[in-house]
Copies of this chain bind each other. A is one copy, B any other.
């Protein structure tokens, strides 16, 4: 039950790009792309074909989950760079780097909740054109992070209250 069976692709200790694609659900072209970006690495055979360590499957899964969370690839790459290079990452390593996403998620959930709670009344009431609206206030924490427009909604406002 413990001995790998080399006839079965997922039991070999190295994976071809096709194996990795099948196992991870990620297209071969995307894996090439991740490799160009330095998110994953491979050794090459004498015939210049890629061979991935099984561990890479873990990395790819982490990449996909992180993308689900909304993290850009560059940030995911930066996180992966903090994993130890000299040994296989442990569960603890993965826990550490996923903790950052957890905090990020917390922040974004809070942000979206506020947005949701102000949305209907703000759009409905007309305050969108006003200075005080929670959705347009540049000093609101809402402004700080997350995807979407970086500049705030209203920059040059009424010189005097409407």
Contacts and interface: CB of A to CB of B under 8 A. Distances in A.
A22 to B, nearest CB: 4
Contacts of A149: 64, 67-68
Q: Assembly of this chain: how many copies?
A: 2
A135 B105 CA distance: 15
A13 B8 CA distance: 74
A155 interface: yes
Q: Which are the 7 A-B pairs with shortest beta-carbon distances?
A: A25-B155, A95-B124, A61-B128, A98-B123, A105-B116, A22-B156, A64-B153
A65 B124 CA distance: 12
Interface in A132-160: 135-136, 142, 147-149, 151-158
Interface residues of A, number: 56
Interface in A73-125: 91-92, 94-95, 97-99, 101-102, 105-106, 108-109, 112-113, 115-116, 119-120, 122-125
B23 A154 contact: yes
